[in-house]
Amino acid sequence: MKAFVTGATGFLGSHVARVLGEQGADLRLLIRSTSNLRNLEGIKAETATGDLRDSSSLEKGMSGCDTVFHVAADYRLWVRDPAEMYRSNVDGTKAILDAARKNGVRRVVYTSSVATVGFTGNGHPADEDSPVSLADMIGPYKRSKFMAEQLAMEAGGSGMHVVVVNPTTPVGEQDVKPTPTGRIVVDFLKRRFPAYVETGLNLVDVRECAVGHVVALEKGRPGERYILGGENLTLKQILDKLGEISGLPSPKVKLPYVFAFATGIVDEAITGRLLHREPRATVDSVRMGKKKMFASCAKAERELGWKIVPVEGALRRAVQW
């Protein structure tokens, strides 16, 4: 296998590249000229300098590869210019699929997100068939990932061997940025979590999630999507686990939704608009948190042999890292 991997300098992508390398794949990793290469240490691979917004660099970088893992994405819950996110997540995915067609790539795995599935307000776990539409997507990140996923699904349904995976909320080591999920761990360790809101997430070990990508390549059906997840936990349960691991106190004060919403408005206005920094609390993140993002992995269990692994080990590795 000669695999072209995007996003390998990032959190999940670096683990996907590492798993592929350990399984003997020849790797070519897409990097930008400004990329931080810290996560590539110890991975035997070629690199190709390019950008998701530069189709010619993708075609050149992908030349000679028979497999593509498109893991890269702009994963932020607040951005000053939403058009930038659409260019990376939607236009970039289209460019990847076009380059794969032109290069005769045999198989593509597209990394979507559990954010694109249909969640309800009752906390019942969502799955791949839960009713959902673009109108249900909150904020540019969710909307752009939903639109990009549609492109991948359409390609898979029209003759290309494209399989979509929907990771839930990966946790573990190497979250260099960090992602919004990693920021939960960082903020907790810095004692910046005085209170919590009533919400929930499905956490998955990033290493297991990376292995799931490779299994999806081998066993997944073209034009289908698979949720790769782990444990459904409330935010309070997550913080309690971080407290047990780190020895730091877990917050006991639950923040009412209306107060959290007001905090998001103020933080966006001051931190985002005036100070030109990414706010820690955003209106979109608070709106997302109104629904517990619990998910079912039954389809991946049936078709891919996916196994749900307790997430405590991944949380411990994240804290130690």
So what's the pLDDT on residue 197? 83
Q: Which of 141, 196, 226, 257 is catalytic?
A: 141
DSSP secondary structure letter of residue 198: S
Tokens standing for residue 244: 């047990």
Q: Give the range among 17-21, 53-57, 166-170, 191-195 with minimum mean pLDDT.
A: 191-195
Residue 249: cis peptide before it, omega within 30 degrees of 0 = no
Q: What is the pTM of this model?
A: 0.92
What is the C-alpha separation between 252 and 44, in angstroms, rounded?
A: 46
Find the Cα–Cα–Cα–Cα dihedral 163, 167, 168, 171, rounded to 10°.
Answer: 170
So what's the pLDDT on residue 266? 44
3-state secondary structure of 186: helix
3-state secondary structure of 312: helix
Respond yes or no: is residue 141 known to be catalytic.
Answer: yes
So what's the pLDDT on residue 233? 96
What is the C-alpha separation between 191 and 185, in angstroms, rounded?
A: 10
Q: What is the mean pLDDT of the chain?
A: 90
Query: Of 169, 222, 157, which is closest to residue 200 (Cα–Cα)?
Result: 169
Average pLDDT rounded to a whole number, residues 31-52: 95
What is the C-alpha separation between 148 and 131, in angstroms, rounded?
A: 18
Report angle CA 209, 41, 164 to the nearest 5 degrees: 25
66-92: pLDDT as tens digits: 999 999 999 887 678 889 999 999 999
3-state secondary structure of 273: helix
266-298: pLDDT as tens digits: 444 455 455 456 656 554 554 555 568 999 999
3-state secondary structure of 300: helix
Residue 47 bridge partners (DSSP)? 29
Report angle CA 10, 169, 288 to the nearest 5 degrees: 115
Average pLDDT rounded to a whole number, residues 138-147: 93
What is the C-alpha separation between 224 and 156, in angstroms, rounded?
A: 7
At how many degrees (to 10) do helices 235-246 and 312-320 cross?
60
Residue 69 bridge partners (DSSP)? 5, 109
170-221: pLDDT as tens digits: 999 999 999 988 999 999 999 998 888 888 999 999 999 999 999 999 999 9
Query: Of 92, 104, 3, which is closest to residue 48 (Cα–Cα)?
Result: 3
What is the C-alpha separation between 159 and 42, in angstroms, rounded?
A: 36
